[in-house]
């Protein structure tokens, strides 16, 4: 999940997210997303995205703060694990533009011991969650 400075290994991924459930576990509104993750082939080809984040709508009116996010991407080669924080800004009726800072914290299988950092950009359609997507890029070992 990364875009930025030159590095020896790069990765990118896109995830189509579908909101499955929301549960209050963090003192704010909590959201869980599950969907398909499609990689660029060198990192992984396809997997399952699962994440949970706290949504704060009070700190900055008109902007959704996505805090304390945890995610996994389960693939046939192993599972990527990471953290993120970001914001969602309205771009139209029912639509949000998401920008997040992402940190890879480890994984299993071929992703065991992986670390990385980067940015994720996405568009959320709150009226049709099948229309959501997230693009992420960055670097390893940062």
Answer yes or no: CATH 2.40.350 is held by domain 10-140.
Answer: yes
CA distance 102 to 41: 20
| 68 or 21, which is more confident | 68
Specify whether the CB–CB gap between 132 and 16 falls below 8 A: yes
pLDDT of 49 higher than 60 = yes
Domain residue limits, the chain: 10-140
Which of 6-10, 42-46, 104-108 comes out lowest in average pLDDT? Answer: 6-10
pLDDT of 63 higher than 70 = yes
pLDDT of 5 higher than 90 = no
* Per-position DSSP letters for the chain, written without gaps between them: ----S--SSEEEEEEEEEEEEE---SSSEEEEEEEEEEE-SSS-SEEEEEEEEEEESSSSTT-EEEEEEEEEEEETTEEEEEEEEEEEEEEETTEEEEEEEEEEEEESGGGTT--EEEEEEEEEETT-GGG-EEEEEEEE--
pLDDT of 132 higher than 90 = no
pLDDT tens figures, 10-26: 333 443 333 333 333 56
pLDDT interval class at 115 (50, 70, 90): very high
pLDDT of 109 higher than 90 = yes
pLDDT interval class at 72 (50, 70, 90): very high
Q: List the one residue out of 83, 80, 75, 126 whose CA is nearest residue 106.
A: 80
CA distance 106 to 50: 15
The predicted pLDDT at position 15 comes to 39
């Amino acid at each position: 999940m990364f875009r930025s400075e030159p590095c020896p290994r790069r990765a990118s991924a896109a995830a189509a997210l579908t909101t499955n459930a929301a549960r209050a576990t963090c003192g704010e509104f909590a959201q869980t997303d599950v969907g398909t993750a499609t990689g660029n082939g060198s990192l992984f080809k396809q997997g399952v995205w699962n994440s949970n984040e706290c949504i704060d709508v009070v700190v900055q009116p008109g902007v959704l703060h996505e805090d304390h996010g945890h995610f996994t991407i389960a693939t046939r080669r192993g599972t990527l694990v990471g953290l993120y924080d970001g914001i969602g800004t309205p771009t139209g009726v029912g639509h949000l533009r998401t920008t997040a800072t992402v940190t890879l914290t480890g994984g299993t299988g071929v992703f065991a011991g992986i670390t990385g950092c980067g940015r994720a950009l996405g568009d959320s359609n709150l009226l049709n969650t099948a229309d959501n997507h997230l693009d992420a890029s960055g670097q390893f070992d940062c």
